Structure 1
């Protein structure tokens, strides 16, 4: 009898729990599966399919070179190749590291195989779900800031005894500079597609199922060695100046100083603690600016771990929550980028080309638009999940349903992240080349972010007035005439024609 291991597409590291206890590769059979039925569930970005399948194929080859018996299947479903492989290899126990995504756990539990299935604890995160639940129980509010501080203490990151280095836990106020001319941003580190990746590109391009995005250039890394090069490049070249302009958005700047590490860490090609410790080491050895290092570490030790913890902590109906009762369909321009709103056009074109946009582009433009326009949170979350190269169910449920759309009524965010054109004009150069005028809220060339924003506040005033931080803004509605509010509402109803 042989122990079998099924390695999923986002578990591509040798220390994952299903591989961790394998002392003798000759006694273990490993299987990878590319499933067409699985990718038919969403209209996935072509870049994402290439990234995952190429990374899987490269990792499978690495394991073969280490002496493992590896089977790589391309099939319609998971059941058929698994059943055949289990019988052929006389496997009595199939080991799988518990998936991060709840729907895929259901897929595994629905399998009918002639062997036992042993789900092993997921070790892809610093906090296990049980540890997060223990932290969260008996708390009135699950504030990320509280969780982040606990993580700093627990893993002794940027600490002096029991105090944060520099005396402050959070230096975010130093990291919100608007863009200025001639930022001189460093080029991102990209890679040429090797033979394996070229084969996957041809396969994805030939698929006869609905997909999204472009494959004119595929430049992402697909191995751990490449991911480590991106980490090293970020630490040495980008991290020193990462902080101040991390919220800025500039035409033609796809990546600014951002790390570009999320696709790799979410596949398992990098581990969270090695990323955090590399940044901390650079801070001590190279005297880097604390606001840059703390701001980056907070994204990994804080937001990433927090979002994963929340995802497994909330009830099963979280994905269907819709506190504002928004139900408008997602505009077609999210798939085509064809809109006169320059901010959306620039970002959506970038997403089509690369599968990537940084966190402020996602939160304060894409999510902000969905929120104030009244788009169904579920439709928007589906688009985010399909469109982004680093997206998974555990990532997007909390980031879109909770953070971006406030559809959970405030479990995750302290207030709705709704903003008018003022914010976009301040933090980007998009408004300078736009058909619409960022200073107008009514009229033919009024910026949609303005009339959608005020219509959102007016429609939901009764709910928003109980959010303490919103009352000051809501008072501005009293200064508008009923006629202006009606005009704003009429404009807001024409979401598809922007």
Structure 2
């Protein structure tokens, strides 16, 4: 092992592709480690487009870091046969370059947090875990809010987040006099209604290389790569979001709960993946949507309905996950044990709604909330 260095190594995970990440901000000159890992790509059978998105976005982000002056060690999938996990990658960097301190922003998954927290003992490296400041509620804030409550309701947590951020507030009261406009967001699409075209991106050279690799190594996973068009850089994500603001947000609220055959996206924002891997900032997204209401470009029911998904549901589910884990992962309220049928993954069924929802997921790696909750989710129950 080389002589130890006091300079920390920053580990950046595949869903932490944000230039303002807390670990990067804490050590502006520290080198970075990023890795495409077999364990991460295969611990569940991820959709082929999900693997493509994350690996391509990681490669683009690592280049951006290098162009900003960062030293980056980027380990591509299977280039080092003995490196399968983050533990393997960190151990290799310790042996090769003599690191004795590791800095990272907290993982978003319990299993990864357990792995990271073991390294001080198993690898003998100092580990500093920083909070993920891209989220708007800390774990402690959620725990304090939940303490003593018999039921944890998203709606009431959402109101606290509105007060905290000031989004859609008029002093201490909600804009428009009510907190939630969900009752206004259940209209059917008119007969013959045509939704606007969406801004997508043809795969660039980096993405095409990843697609070839994914087809070779993960071609038996669910989904296809034929329609891959997701943003893989912050610039692409911002452009897609700006296009949605102009052409979709005004009618998002009215038709938020609608479904239409052969119209996978309708008026939905398609920002979930970009938010989850760090290409978009959730508070900035919410403020941009709020600004459309104040400028008269979008109605309140559309703006509130969208902001609730991020400020309410996204923050609430994250808080609940960390509050209830690890037991939450094994919970089975209805004591169900039957396996799902094969057509739940293939879409090969005469049930029209199931066929459409699963088919869209296979083609686009996407299903909006009504498809997930009311169709595939209800069937699974």
> Is the TM value for this pair above 0.5?
yes
The equivalent of 1:80 in structure 2 is 88
Which of the numbers 257, 275, 286 marks the counterpart of 2:285?
A: 275
For the 8 Å contact 1:29–1:89, the answer to whether it is kept is: no
Q: Secondary structure of the equivalent of 1:206?
A: helix
TM-superposed CA distance for 1:79, in Å, is 2.8
Corresponding residue of 2:81: none
Per-residue deviation at 1:151?
Answer: 1.0
2:49 pairs, out of 35, 47, 50, with 47
Q: Is the 8 A contact 1:171 1:295 kept in 2?
A: yes
| Corresponding position of 1:120 | 130
In 2: Cα distance, 1:200 partner to 1:208 partner:
11
Conservation of the 8 A alpha-carbon contact between 2:282 and 2:310: yes
Q: Secondary structure at 1:305's aligned position in 2?
A: helix
Q: For 1:37 and 1:110, how far apart are their aligned partners in 2?
A: 17
The equivalent of 1:409 in structure 2 is: none
Q: Which of 12, 17, 40 is equivalent to 1:38? A: 40
Q: Deviations over 1:206-254 (max 9, x none)?
A: 1067421101121001001111112211211111111111101000101
Give the 3-state SS of the residue equivalent to 1:217 in structure 2. Answer: coil
> 2:27 and 2:42 mapped to 1: Cα distance?
34
SS of residue matched to 2:201: coil
The answer to whether structure 1 residue 11 and structure 2 residue 16 are counterparts is yes
Secondary structure in 2 aligned to 1:119?
A: strand
| Gap regions ≥5 residues in structure 1 | 372-498
Find the partner of 1:361 among 366, 371, 374: 371
1:284 pairs with 2:284? no
Deviations 1:462-490 (A, max 9, x none): xxxxxxxxxxxxxxxxxxxxxxxxxxxxx
Q: Distance in 2 between matches of 1:42 and 1:311?
A: 18
Partner of 1:299: 309
Which position in structure 2 is the counterpart of 1:326? 336
> What CA distance in whole angstroms lies between the structure 2 residues aligned with 1:242 and 1:335?
28
Q: What does residue range 129-140 of structure 1 map to in structure 2 within 5 Å? A: 129-140=139-150
Structure 1 counterpart of 2:156? 146
Match for 2:27 among 22, 30, 37? 22
* CA-CA distance at 1:109 after TM superposition: 2.9
Alpha-carbon separation, structure 2, partners of 1:105 and 1:11: 14
DSSP-derived class of the 2:209 partner = helix
Within 2, Cα distance between the matches of 1:22 and 1:116? 15
User: SS in structure 1 opposite 2:378?
Assistant: helix
What is the distance in 1 between the residues matched to 2:311 and 2:89? 38
Structure 2 residue aligned with 1:232: 242
Q: Distance in 2 between matches of 1:30 and 1:115?
A: 16
Q: Counterpart of 1:351 in 2: which secondary structure?
A: helix
C-alpha deviation, 1:126, in angstroms: 0.2
1:106 aligned to which of 104, 110, 114: 114
How far residue 144 of structure 1 moved from its aligned partner, in angstroms, is: 0.9
- TM-score between both structures, scaled by the size of structure 2: 0.94
Contact 1:4 1:86 in 2 (8 A): no
Aligned-pair Cα RMSD in Å: 1.4
What is the alpha-carbon distance in structure 2 between the residues aligned to residue 14 and residue 361 of structure 1?
Answer: 33
1:195-234 alignment runs, 5 A limit:
195-207=205-217, 210-234=220-244
Picking from 69, 72, 86, the partner of 1:70 is 72
Structure 1 residue 114: deviation in Å?
A: 4.5
Alignment of 1:253-264 (within 5 A): 253-264=263-274
Deviation of the 1:199 alpha carbon: 0.8
Three-state SS of the structure 2 residue aligned to 1:80 is helix
Counterparts of 2:196 and 2:161, CA distance in 1: 31
1:91 aligns with 2:99: yes
Q: Secondary structure at the match of 2:370?
A: helix
SS in structure 1 at match of 2:100? strand
The separation in 2 between residues aligned to 1:38 and 1:48, in whole angstroms, is 12
1: distance between equivalents of 2:364 and 2:209? 19
The residue aligned with 1:383 is none
Cα distance in 2, alignment partners of residues 362 and 59 from structure 1? 30
State how far apart, in whole Å, the 2-side matches of 1:187 and 1:208 are.
30
Distance apart, 1:82 and its partner CA: 2.0
